[in-house]
Structure 1
Amino acid sequence: MTIRVVVAEDQSAVRAGLVMILRSTPDIEVVAEAADGDEALAAARAHRPDVLLMDIQMPRTDGLTATRLVVAEQLADVLVLTTFDLDEYVFGALRAGAAGFLLKDAEADQLIDAVRTVAAGDGLIAPSVTRRLIAEFARGPAAPGVPRPAAPSDALAALTPREREVLSLIGAGMANAEIAARLGMAEATVKTHASRLLRKLGLRSRVQAAILAQDLGL
């Protein structure tokens, strides 16, 4: 199956490089390019891609605002491009419901793998970003700018034992295929459990679920 991607990046040279990398593999098709958040949203509405590769700092409508709108309209899964020293944008994108975070200096194969991972329904955070996110969450709920996903105890109590298992493995960073193998079930069944637990917990992405699971020590 071909993965359809929209690339949103305001720097034309960087955007051209991203497009060239993605088009180098036969299972990924770049269906549109965007130079700002407005164009990214319009392209997502027009093409309904599997993945929207979104830069954060862009003119007119920024990437965070565009991410919120794309997620709210369920137009695509958003893979955010970030830089190592701009954590506040990562937190904003997490709050907006982004499905993944990748550093701008990632190697070509990491970019391709990230697009495939997000398209498969698995959340993704670059390892270095993950470490910093966990460090911020460890500082407690009062840490400035850190969006702790809200999960009331009654919502957690509403999870079935199997959904709790899936949540725990999502928190361990496992992809759907790995969870399926661990629990001895079909990958499609794992996706169903993941969708249900997200809905019950009021979360917008698997990344938020992973942070919550780590926060709760599941």
Structure 2
Amino acid sequence: MLVAEGADARPSVRGAATTRPLRVLVVDDHEVLRSGLRWLLSRVPWVERCACARSADEALLLARSIAFDVALVDVDLGAECGLQTCERLSAFVPNTALLTSRWDLVPMRTARQVGARGVIAKDRPARALLEAVRELAAGGACEPDPSPAGAVRFIPREREILRLVSAGLTNAEIGASLYLAPGTIKHHMLELYDKLGAPNRAAAVHAARRLGVLADHRAEQETSGAPAGVRVSVLVADPDDVRRTGLLLALHGRAWVSACSGARDAESALDAVERIAPDIALVAGKDVSRTLSARGVRTLLVRDDEADSPAELRDAGATGAIRQWWTSERVADAVARGCRPAQPREAVAPEGAGLPVVVSPREHEVLAAFATGATNPAIAADLGLSPNTVKQHASSIFRKLGVRNRAEAVRRANDLGLLLLT
């Protein structure tokens, strides 16, 4: 079995009756979550077919050739906004719903404006998520979950603006791209500064990347492969049913994985330790990570953000971390690296540190200051330089990174692993 623990083989779902098995389309740019959703939906008898797409173009191509009953569209598709994708799909699919993460705030009114009839959180338990899909197919509506008190959420428009800011666009250019007045963009930026605790655009981009609001969607690097001649057993301990299933699928069937099991909580994780003696565990919670590491199991934290520092990893007893937006190959490579006794620190090394972009130590300090939102005079005072020298360093950084301003420089530096996301 793929999921030995932590997921029902065929979840029984109560809900509105359907006249025939359903055809479901899932649109999500995160491979792990996309495959997890597909597996869960394919296991219930009332779904005839579940197809997946990672972009609007792929989704529309499928929708034109196959008559789907339901489409589930991620609000954030990386380089695209899911709202426009949902609006275009609603012309082909009678029942659509928007999929949200913990950072998304999508009122029902917004969903209806783009032709969606519901909002479904991807981190719902499998049974509740499947009930929502069946209710949607029967003509019902899926109301968005209420936000917890004090939670920071971002409306889709704010995500769009952040993405364009990280690409180096000015307010006027963003306004022209989104058909909004520059003043409206300025208002949204002030809201974003407040939510992200950032003083300016560069610091906002860095904070958004650290939180996972702006995820790393760069092209995958060549992986190093599995440990030669070694077979390992892996445990995935994660209460999120969709993500846990996707991670198990990413590892299942690989020649060097001897056993792969899932667990929802600490109790079932400890049962799995007794049963399969895992060499490594992918763990969503720090408490469970500490518990497993105390049993001699190496752990990698599963994150939907990039907010872990070396100190946090040590506190959790973890070797490193993986991100839910990584591809299956990248996840498998991180697990393989984590199992190598000779290189236990590789998993926490900055991503892409070996890429051929070289900044001087002083330029690195200036880049780090950009990420905090410091002004030229403040950077100059802190580093003992003149403001003009700081401007010269900034110009050199922009040239080396191929960018035109600080916000784009911070995004590019993060992509290259030149800045620690802490």
TM-score by length of 1: 0.54
Two-structure CA RMSD over aligned residues (Å): 2.5
Distance apart, 1:89 and its partner CA: 7.6
Secondary structure at the counterpart of residue 64 of structure 2: helix
- Give the distance between the partners of 1:116 and 1:104, measured in 2 at CA: 15
Question: Secondary structure in 2 aligned to 1:125?
Answer: coil
1:25 corresponds to 2:33: no
Q: 2:55 aligns with which of 33, 36, 53?
A: 36
C-alpha distance after superposition, 1:63-98 (max 9, x if no partner) = 111111122x24331111112432158654332021
Please tell me whether the aligned partners of residues 75 and 81 of structure 2 are also in contact (alpha carbons under 8 angstroms). Answer: yes
Structure 1 equivalent of residue 93 of structure 2? 75
2:70–2:93 Cα contact (<8 Å) kept: no
Q: Any idea what the Cα deviations from partners look like across 1:121-178, whole Å, max 9, x if unmatched?
A: 111114426x9xxxxxxxxxxxx99xxxxxxxxxxxxxxxxxxxxxxxxxxxxxxxxx
Retained in 2: the 8 A contact 1:9–1:58? Answer: yes
Asked whether the 8 Å contact 2:117–2:136 carries over to 1, the reply is: yes
SS in 2 for 1:102: strand
| Counterparts of 1:31 and 1:127, CA distance in 2 | 24
Kept in 1: contact 2:71–2:97 (CA 8 A) = yes
1:51 paired with 2:64, answer no
Amino acid at match of 2:126: A
Q: CA deviation at 1:110?
A: 1.1
Gaps of 5+ in 1: 132-143, 146-218
Larger Rg: 2
1:121 to 110, 115, 139: 139
**1:22 & 1:88 partners in 2: Cα distance?**
23
| Alignment partner, residue 82 of structure 2 | 63
- Checking the alignment, whether the CA contact within 8 Å between 1:5 and 1:30 is kept in structure 2 is yes
TM-score using structure 2 length: 0.29
What pairs up with 1:1-218 in 2 under 5 angstroms?
1-71=20-90, 73-87=91-105, 92-128=110-146
Q: 1:8 to 1:110 in 2, by over 3 A?
A: same
Q: Decide whether aligned partners of structure 1 residues 112 and 75 sit closer, same or farther in structure 2, where only a CA change above 3 A counts.
A: same
Measure the CA separation in 2 of the matches of 1:15 and 1:88.
Answer: 20
Are 2:73 and 2:97, in contact at CA under 8 Å, matched by a contact in 1? yes
Offset at residue 60 of structure 1 (A): 4.8
2:333 corresponds to which residue?
A: none
Question: Distance in 1 between the 2:53 and 2:94 partners?
Answer: 15
1:41 CA drift (Å): 1.8
CA contact (8 A) 2:122 2:129 kept: no
In structure 2, what residue type is equivalent to 1:120? A
| Contact 2:23 2:49 survives alignment (8 Å) | yes
Gap change, CA 1:90 and 1:61, over 3 Å in 2:
farther
Q: Name the CA distance, whole Å, in 2 between partners of 1:7 and 1:105.
A: 15
Aligned length: 131
Instruction: Describe the shift of the 1:85–1:91 C-alpha distance in structure 2 as closer, same or farther (beyond 3 A).
Output: farther
Of all paired residues, the percent bearing the same amino acid is: 31
Q: Compared with structure 1, are the counterparts of its residues 111 and 30 closer, same or farther at alpha carbon in structure 2 (3 Å cutoff)?
A: farther
The answer (yes or no) to whether the contact 1:56–1:89 under 8 Å persists in 2 is: no
What is the CA–CA distance in structure 2 between the aligned matches of 1:128 and 1:88, rounded to whole Å? 10
AA in 1 matched with 2:115: G
CA distance in 2, matches of 1:16, 1:34: 10
SS at match of 2:71: strand
Question: Where does residue 238 of structure 2 map in the other structure?
Answer: none
Gaps of 5+ in 2: 1-19, 150-186, 189-422
Q: Any runs of at least 4 consecutive aligned residues in structure 1 with deviations exceeding 6 A, and if so which?
A: none
Say whether the 8 Å CA contact 1:9–1:15 is kept in structure 2. yes
